[in-house]
Structure formats: structure tokens, C-alpha cells
Chains A and B, each alone.
Chain A
Amino acid sequence: MALKYCGGCNPGFDRVAYVEKIKSAAGPNIEWVTFDEEGFDAVLLVTGCDTACPRRTIDFSEYKQTLLIRDDKASPEDLVKILLESEATNED
């Protein structure tokens, strides 16, 4: 799973702290890489607001699954379940 953040100009929540919770909930079940690396087919896209800027310039449709996080309302455990189970593409 590749982790991709937006730039964070004015985020509505602490993106890094939230991702740490997701990583912690996932434990060893998910192997995380950066977006610059190769060999992943799913992306966790974490943006600070609904604009989700990376979608302006990056075509995420080429990845098998992209999960977009725009706030910290969902429980990290639920998100991990989605990441592990869903085969849907570009789930929002």
C-alpha cells in the first residue's frame, strides 16, 4: 500500500497523527511504501480537505484501489478493514 499525502496547505485535521493510528491498527497486515516507490497497486490518499489536490494532477485510476481520506471521522480499524477487504477501485 502506497501512502500519499496532499501538501497540507490548511488541513482540517492532523493527517500524520491519523495515519499513524491507521498504521497501528493495520499492524503487519499492510506493507507501506511511499508513492515514489514502485511495486504497489493500492493507494491510501490522505488529504486535508475535500479539494483533494493530488487528484488534480495524478491519475489514480491506474491503481487497483485508491482509498481517499479527507477527514478523521472514520475509525482507523474500519479503514483497515476496508483496505484489506475491498477490491473496489477508487473508493472514496
Chain B
Amino acid sequence: MKIRTKADYVKSLKDQEVVIYYKGELVEDRTTFPAFVPHINSAAKTYELALLPENEDLLTATSNVTGKKINRFTHIHQSVDDLIKKVQMLRLIAHETASCFQRCVGFDALNSLYMTTYEIDEKHKTKYFERFLEYLKKIQDENFMLVGGMTDPKGDRSKRPSQQADPDLFTRVVEKRKDGVVVRGAKAHQTGAVNSHEIMIMPTQAMGEGDEAYAIVAAIPLDAKGVTLIFGRQTNEERKFECGIDAGNCEFGMVGGEALVVFEDVFVPWERVFMCGEIDFTGMLVERFATLHRQNYGGCKGGVSDIVIGASALAAQYQGTLDASHIKDKLVEMLHLAETVYSGSVACSAMGSKTKSGAYYPDPLLANCTKHNITRFIYDISRLAHDIGGGIMATLPFDKDLRSPVVGKYVKKYMKGVEGVSTESRMKILRLLENMTGGTALVESMHGAGSPQSQRIMYQRLGKLGQKMKMAKKIAKIDE
């Protein structure tokens, strides 16, 4: 079905029977399961906002393939303006969800594959780009949600894929048939997987000789035979089951609802295979996907930070500290950090360039710099939020205590802040801050789109250190 509205989206998920395990048990209906509903609500915003006149400029685009109006999450960037609009769109949606809305990963998979399959064909005379265009037309037309599946479990990190004691620790082709390939392995912490329709598996790293079976790119429906999803446990996730104050942000998810996706001998027809054995292009694909994904973080995390800053200011206001100079200074610092990460995303987009395929690509050094700042600044913003909010954020009584006929009066009395603001409002804002600034939410800032070390490797590669040394010698008038 073609998905336009939230109702279309939810129905399409219901129509697809996906094997998902939560806490050791099979989930019967993923669209009503309480742990998944907040993630569905978050992703649904990518559909809902596209229908609003006041947001469509960011949420929609014109397809370069069909000329039709499409959801931007299925678009191939055709200009620097498209790259900037992507970042603006992410900030906008984050304001609506205060959480990850998951769909950027598939978006980045589509863009990195568009430009890379074009270049694989140019060198190897293969037909991947043509195949990929057909797939792209389908996703643009149907507007379904795609998981970008890059990260393999990786086992012993000191060994290459083909050297692992268990060869399945990197996703691989175990059989090539006339009509397709059979895939075995897993993709770890897959954002949005439980509420998506398909997954695009891609190699997790540059592959060398002997690793050809691991150089596989394929689009796999999540209801394909042999696919099993195991949902990842998150901080305080079962508070969402209560639908009360304690969840902090009950309606939307915490990070992206990540899952382990297992492929137990899954058959994929050739028309859904976009790389198979071309190890010489695995490094390029990984780097492009990583750059496109790192580009995002100043947009979405900048937007999420806007909510944290607003909540911190409200927490201060509700306890009478908003006018204290040190609080104002901390809020200013938070604003500075949020706008700094956003600046990085805009900058790498503004410095983007055209690839051979015609698709536009952000500046990789600046995109890496953006994500590297996220691994620090979101922690700094969260630290300041904790500082402003106070210890009460960690020691508040339960929502049920507030509503208790016996102890409710004590909670109302002793948890109250300034006059004119209810204890309930104060508790709501403190719980929102707690939800957004701890546990899983922070770890996602560190490792989502690659751990800090992967960005530092890119600095070494792209930082032009030799050129900088030459410039220093010239200024110092050193000839040797």
C-alpha cells in the first residue's frame, strides 16, 4: 500500500507479520505493543508532518527519478539546498518528538547506495545502479520505512570477518543461486527495526581479500522467512507501560527502539541485491553512509537539545531559580552547545559536493567533526540539565505516590516549588529531563553513527596534517 498518513503507516505495519521478541516472548501485534507504540508515534511524525503546509517544504521533495512529489526520507539529494533541508527537517521533527524518529538511517542508506552503485557499475560493468533505481522508485512510490542495516556484531574485533571463529558474526552470503543469494548473520542495534518494513543490509567495514562473501548489500523485507528481531532493553522503558508522569515522554520513544536483527539463511532475489563481492567498494560505501549519517546529528540532537534546554529553564522557573545568574549562565552555555552542533551539520551540508552519480554529498571532514562534537556536547548539555534540575530529578516519588489517597498530600506539599505552579507540573518537567538526559539516550549520542574513534580515524585521513606542516614551515621561513 502507499503510505501517506499515520493510519496508513500503522496499518501497513499491522499487515506485515514480523517475528519480534521482547523480553523473551514473541510479540503478537507490534502496532499495539506498549513498548513499541512510542517508537511508532515518533516515526509516524515523518509521515504526518509531510502533509502539513507549514512543514511540507522540508518534509517533501521532488524525485529526480520520477519527477513526482515524494517524502524527503526517500529522496536523493540533488543540491546543497537539499542537504541543508535534510538537517533543518531533522531539527523540526525532533521538536515534535523529543526523541529519535529513526527514519534517517534508511534515508542515508538510499543516498550512499545511489552514489556507490553508480561507481561500482562504472568500474565493474555490473547492473547494480539500474536495479537500485527500480528499488528506489518503489520506495518513493510506496513510502515505506527502511532500516539502514550496517553494524555487524563483529565478534573478535582484532580479526577480519573471514578469520572469526564463528563466521556468522559478520553478515555474509552462504549460498549463491541462479535466482538470488542466501544470507546469514545479524545486524546489531538497528534503529527503528521493530516498526519498519524492510532492512537494507550493508557491509559494516572495508573488506579485504578473502572477505568477498561479506561484501553484500541487499534489501530484505522484515517479514522474510528466517528474519527474527530481538528488541533491545532501554533505560526505564517499562515506565512507558504506565502512560503516566514517570515515563517523562510517554507518547514518543527513547532513542530509536533498537533491535538485534538475525538472518537465518534468508533468501534474497537478485533484483534486491546491490553489491555482491565487490570488496573494493566496501570502504567507499561505509564512508559515505557514515558521512551522511554523521551529517544528521546536529539537526536531530540539536532539536532534542532545544527541548532539554526548554525543560531545564522550566525546571528552574518552577523552583524559583531562573533569575539566578549562574542558572542563566548555564542556560546560555547549553544554547551555545546546541547551536554549535547545529552549525556543524549546516556547515558540512553547505560545503557538500556533487558525486559522479549526480547526487550530493556532505563534506566528510565537517560531518565527522559534527558527530564528534555530539559525543561530547550532548553529555555537557545533559550535565548542565542535571545541575539546573537538581538532585530531585533522581529522587522524585512515583506518579502513583502523587495520586495516592494516603501519601499524595505529602508529595503535593513537599515537592512543590513556586506558587502558581502545581507539583504535578514540576514533576512532569523533571521527569522529562530525567528521560532525555540519562542512560540509553546518552549512550546513543556516543555511539550512534559510529563511536568517537571512528571519527578520529577520519580526522587522521582527511585533516591535511601534511599541508598544515607545510604552511607552518612557510610562515616560520624554514627551508629544510
Per the bound structure, the CA–CA distance linking A34 and B51 in Å amounts to: 13
Q: How large is the interface on B (under 10, 10 to 19, 20 to 34, 35 or more residues)?
A: 10 to 19
A29 within 8 A of B: no
Find the B residue at minimum CB distance from A10: B91
B70 close to A (CB within 8 Å): no
* A9 and B54 within 8 A (CB): no
A5 B91 Cβ-Cβ under 8 A: no
Given A56-B81, A57-B81, A9:B53 Cβ within 8 A: no
Contacts of A16 in B (CB 8 A): 54
Given that A16-B54, A34-B53, A53-B57 are contacting pairs, would A9 and B81 also be in contact in the complex, using a CB cutoff of 8 Å?
no
Is B92 close to A, CB under 8 A? yes
| Residues in chain B near residue A46, CB distance under 8 A | 54
Q: Which of A3, A9, A53 is the one whose CB lies under 8 Å from B91?
A: A9
Q: Which of A3, A5, A7, A10 contacts B85 (CB 8 A)?
A: A7
Main secondary structure of the interface of A (DSSP, over half): mixed
Minimal beta-carbon separation of B301 from chain A (angstroms): 14
Give the CA-CA distance A15 to B2 in the complex, in Å. 30
> Are A8 and B81 interface neighbours, CB within 8 A?
no
Query: Within the complex, which residue of A5, A9, A15 is in contact with B88, where a contact is CB–CB below 8 Å?
Result: A9
Partner of B57, one of A3, A10, A34, A54: A54
- The interface size of chain A toward B, counting residues with CB under 8 Å, comes to 15
- Among A5, A7, A16, find the residue whose CB has the most chain B CB atoms closer than 10 A: A7
Residue A6 is within 8 A (CB to CB) of chain B in the complex:
yes
For the complex, what is the distance from the CA of A46 to the CA of B53, rounded to whole Å?
11
Please encode chain A, from 34 to 74, with 1 for each CB lying within 8 Å of some chain B CB and 0 for all others: 10000000000010000001101100000000000000000
A85 smallest CB distance to B (angstroms): 26
On whether the beta carbons of A3 and B53 are closer than 8 Å, the reply is: yes
Interface code A10-35, partner B: CB below 8 Å = 1, 0 otherwise?
A: 10000110000000000000000010
- CB-CB contacts of B73-98 with A at 8 A, as 1s and 0s? 00000000100010011011001000
Chain B residues with CB below 8 A from A34, complex form: 53
Residues of B that sit less than 8 Å from A by CB: 53-59, 81, 85, 88-89, 91-92, 95, 303, 306
Residues of A that sit less than 8 Å from B by CB: 3, 5-10, 15-16, 34, 46, 53-54, 56-57
* Interchain residue pairs with CB less than 8 A apart (29): A3-B53, A5-B55, A5-B56, A6-B57, A7-B56, A7-B59, A7-B88, A7-B89, A7-B92, A8-B54, A8-B55, A8-B57, A8-B58, A8-B92, A9-B58, A9-B88, A9-B89, A9-B91, A9-B92, A10-B88, A10-B91, A10-B92, A10-B303, A15-B54, A16-B54, A53-B85, A53-B88, A56-B81, A57-B81
